[in-house]
Amino acid sequence: MERRSFVQKAGLLTAALLSGKIVSFAQEPEFPVVRKAAALRKFTSKAVENAINEFSSKVKNKELTWLFNNCFPNTLDNCVTYTDFEGRPDTFVNSGDMDAMWLRDSSAQVWSYLPFLRKDKALKDLVGGVINRQTHYILKDPYASSFFNDPTKTSEFKEDLTNMIPGVHERKWEIDSLCYPIRLAYRYWQQTKDTSRFDIAWQDAMKLILKTFKEQQRKDNDGPYHFQRSTAWATDSLPMQGFGYPVKPIGLICSAFRPGEDVTVFSFLVPSNFFAVVSLRQAAELFRVIKADEKVAQEMDALALEVRQALQKYAIVDNEKFGKVYAYELNGYGSYNMMDDAAIPSLLALPYIGALSMTDPIYLNTRKMVLSPENPFFYKGKVAEGIGGPHIGKNMVWPMSIIARGLTSTDDDEIKKCHNMLLKSHADTGFMHESFHIDNAKQYTRAAFPWVNTMYGEFLWKTYQERPGLLA
């Protein structure tokens, strides 16, 4: 028996045993049960289950309803550990295939559930617990990207030449790691008006983010962060004694790594600097809402303005074919990298993170460029077209890039095209993956990738609400 058939039948058998029903594989359903059985799920949200039921009853495409049923609750089913710590919600969110919590991934994994918080107090507390846990991690080490649930656990990367401490899983400095928790906290507040999460510890974490961003502007020195790893993968270690190639101080913030966890070529990573602008403004607004330190709020606004002005001055490049576009990376000395990577924040996803309007003319030019062969990581094959990156290699498209394309489009044909490509990409598993080969969707990476699963659910739900005819 092929492995996929075995897994499908095993899933059916498990569900049947838990429900007390008899299953005959002689009449195997077209879309087998692959979602974890209810009794085994980590967390169940009534509001999310109601959304699944509504989608399933209104959308006639059975494959789409099957995928929504599997993907949308994937993080809740498998990745959350919710507890009450000293009278406050506390939520650990693992990444699916690793028992570690990324500041970025954990924010993105619960992002799709935020519209349902008003209808589900338990879900609201769960997300509040994520904010509390992220606050703890930022204060532990603002340069780390992922952490263990056990604060005494030693990482497999303990030999990395950086300041590794117990409880830290990986210490890759990525600007977006500090932006995502702000994005989550800000939208949580918008949805609930609950400010109880923004206590002194949270305020201290925001001040530490501001301090870290300023350090990584590298105006006076290289700052405290350095990182080297003994590895055959060139994208896993920084050159120049772990500080990366030199940059000219122009007001932008250095990011040692991209959100796809590959080292930057030029440290001024443009999408992440855009993200920092948005996040600093959001943090400043929250400081004023809770009547926290006005001086800090003003510093956040000032830094956001400085970075924004630097982006407008240095990140826009004249492209012979597409006109004025945004570079992906630059160093301040006149060198820049023309590409885009699938991981978010990306140039393609700038409207999704709130950095630019979908009608911004330079963004539209950039969008055309990154969705063309002018982007060295844009691939087109028999199954799909989309953006990948060096993290996986050639001809491997990330579903995340296709979803980002759909979420930032206003064109029905393009949105429909994105849905059709995603339908072809799940390789009969019922889930999205990190990447798949452009000519063979069954050649994929990461069977368990909750970030993209819940984001796909977000895309399906948004389309259902705004353009239901596209899901027919």
Structural domain includes residue 251: yes
Find the mean pLDDT for residues 143-160: 97
For the stretch 208-264, pLDDT in tens is: 999 999 999 999 999 999 999 999 999 999 999 999 999 999 999 999 999 999 999
pLDDT for residue 373 is more than 60 = yes
pLDDT for residue 174 is more than 90 = yes
CA distance 453 to 5: 21
Q: Which long-range contacts (CB under 8 A, 24 or more apart) does 295-302 make?
A: 296/203, 296/206, 296/207, 296/210, 299/210, 300/206, 300/210
pLDDT for residue 3 is more than 80 = no
Selection from 168, 176, 150, 148 nearest residue 341 by Cα: 176
Look at residue 302 in the predicted model and tell me its pLDDT. Answer: 98
Mean pLDDT of the chain: 94
Please state the φ and ψ torsions of residue 162, each to the nearest 5 degrees: -160, 180
Residue % of the chain over a pLDDT of 70: 94
Q: How far is residue 197 from each of residues 11, 89, 175, measured CA to CA in Å?
A: 39, 9, 22
Structural domain includes residue 239: yes
> Within 10 Å of residue 225's Cβ, how many Cβ atoms?
20
pLDDT level of residue 20 (50, 70, 90 thresholds): very low
CATH number for 252: 1.50.10.10
| Count of the separate structural domains present in the chain | 1
For the stretch 72-130, pLDDT in tens is: 999 999 999 999 988 899 999 999 988 999 999 999 999 999 999 999 999 999 999 99
Look at residue 85 in the predicted model and tell me its pLDDT. Answer: 85
Structural domain includes residue 389: no
Structural domain includes residue 104: no
Look at residue 86 in the predicted model and tell me its pLDDT. Answer: 85
Q: Per-residue b/e over 420-450, b at no fewer than 16 CB within 10 Å?
A: ebbeebbbebbbbbbbbbbeebeebebebbb
CA distance 440 to 206: 44
pLDDT for residue 65 is more than 60 = yes
pLDDT for residue 9 is more than 60 = no
Selection from 264, 321, 291, 261 nearest residue 198 by Cα: 291
Higher per-residue pLDDT: 30 or 390: 390
CA distance 12 to 202: 44
CA distance 169 to 159: 12
> Within 10 Å of residue 68's Cβ, how many Cβ atoms?
23
* Residue 239: domain span: 200-208+217-369
Look at residue 310 in the predicted model and tell me its pLDDT. Answer: 98
Higher per-residue pLDDT: 294 or 30: 294
Q: Per-residue b/e over 82-114, b at no fewer than 16 CB within 10 Å?
A: beeeeeebbbbbbbbeeebbbbbbbbbbbbbbb
Structural domain includes residue 121: no
pLDDT for residue 61 is more than 60 = yes
pLDDT for residue 403 is more than 60 = yes
pLDDT level of residue 30 (50, 70, 90 thresholds): confident
For the stretch 387-399, pLDDT in tens is: 999 999 999 999 9
pLDDT for residue 5 is more than 60 = no
Structural domain includes residue 103: no
Selection from 259, 258, 355 nearest residue 307 by Cα: 355
Structural domain includes residue 3: no
Structural domain includes residue 89: no
CA distance 452 to 472: 22
pLDDT for residue 29 is more than 90 = no
Name the maximum alpha-carbon separation found in the chain: 71
